[in-house]
Amino acid sequence: MPEPTQVLPEVLSQIHALPVSSRPLIICDVDEVILHLIAHLEDYLHARELAFLKYEYRLTGNIGRQDGQQPLSSDDVRRLLLEFFDEVSHSQDMVPGAGDALNALAADWDVILLTNLPGGHNKPAREKLLAGLGIAFPLLTNSGPKGGAVAALSRGRPEPVVFIDDSPTNHESVHATLPSAVQIQFIADARFLNATEKADHIDLLSGDWQETAAFIGAILQGSSRNHQNG
Ligand SMILES: [Mg+2]
């Protein structure tokens, strides 16, 4: 069971710079949720005669030479990912329906994007890419498990806060830190999605933005109904 995590000071200062709001909140990851990542990473690996060894949610130990099963060292994976992010951050493709779904939900919800960017220096490229796709929500950069950042973002907001992310590590961290959150594990890549088992703390496991938007839409309908009845 993971421990609750604390928000990092550099993330807290980004949170304090946001406009004050008491609207319901969706906290949404970027990679593999709004922008494709795995498909781009796979192309990048194949061009270097590398490949995922399994469709399994970890990178260290899971990237190796196409002609063998020997994984790259964690240092090599880290270096490869930094190069990959530098090359791809300005040109990732949008996951179908992400922009339409988030913009429609924004009628009732505030949307804040929370992304883990190695180095953080690709943030301007990423903001420009997202804005060009019509996704113009505040973008916060974090590093490490996201529970602390999500709990800090949820202060002053009505429950439940909705958290959307592909990473099981981030979901475990949010469950340990803010158990009231509605947790949506969104994985755009069908192979990684199908290889993922839904954990008990996950409310919806999906790779489809229409399904995800309908699920989130029903949350407010449910709470207003409870309100009328209660
Ligand atoms: Mg992600």
| 34 CA distance to ligand 1 middle (Å) | 9
Please provide the distance, in angstroms rounded to a whole number, between the alpha carbons at the two ends of the chain: 35
Distance (Å) from CA 219 to ligand 1 centroid: 23
Given a contact cutoff of 8 angstroms between Cβ atoms, the answer to whether 65 and 49 are in contact is yes
User: What CA–CA distance (Å, rounded) separates 219 from 112?
Assistant: 18
Name the pTM for this structure: 0.93
Residue 56: per-residue pLDDT: 85
Chain segment 191-217, per-residue pLDDT in tens: 999 999 999 999 999 999 999 999 999
List the chain residues with pLDDT less than 70. Answer: 1, 118-120, 224-230
CA of 224 to the centre of ligand 1 (A): 31
Residue showing tokens 């997202």: 130
The CA 13 to ligand 1 mean position distance, Å, reads 22
Please give the distance, rounded to the nearest whole angstrom, from the Cα atom of residue 28 to the centre of ligand 1. Answer: 9
Nearest to 66 by CA among 50, 82, 84: 50
Please state, in angstroms and rounded to a whole number, the distance separating the CA atoms of residues 189 and 174: 22
d(CA 79, CA 116): 16
CATH for 9-36+93-229 (3.20.20.140, 3.40.50.1000, 3.40.1350.10, 3.30.70.2190)? 3.40.50.1000
pLDDT in tens, 67-97: 877 899 999 998 998 899 888 888 999 999 9
Q: How many angstroms separate the alpha carbon of residue 110 from the centre of ligand 1?
A: 20
Q: Kindly report the backbone phi and psi dihedral angles of residue 74, in degrees, each rounded to the nearest multiple of 5, phi listed first.
A: -65, -35
Residues of the chain with CATH 3.40.50.1000: 9-36+93-229
Tell me, in angstroms, the distance from the centre of ligand 1 to residue 50's CA.
Answer: 21
DSSP H or E segment with residue 16: helix 9-16
| Per-residue model confidence (pLDDT) at position 229 | 45
* pLDDT value for 57: 82
- Residue 165 alpha carbon to ligand 1 centre in Å: 6
Residue 225 Cα to ligand 1 midpoint, Å, equals 33
- Residue 68 Cα to ligand 1 middle (Å): 27
Q: Where are the beta strands (DSSP E) in 136-222?
A: 139-142, 162-165, 182-186, 204-206
Expressed in angstroms and rounded, the spacing between residue 166 Cα and the centre of ligand 1 is: 5
Ligand 1 mean position, distance from CA 30 (Å) = 6
Question: What does the alpha-carbon distance between residue 202 and residue 206 come to, in Å, rounded to a whole number?
Answer: 10
Residue 224: per-residue pLDDT: 61
**Residue-level pLDDT at 149:** 97
CA separation, residue 143 to residues 112, 118, 122, 193, 198 (Å): 16, 7, 13, 23, 24
Helix (H, G, I), strand (E, B) or coil at 35: strand
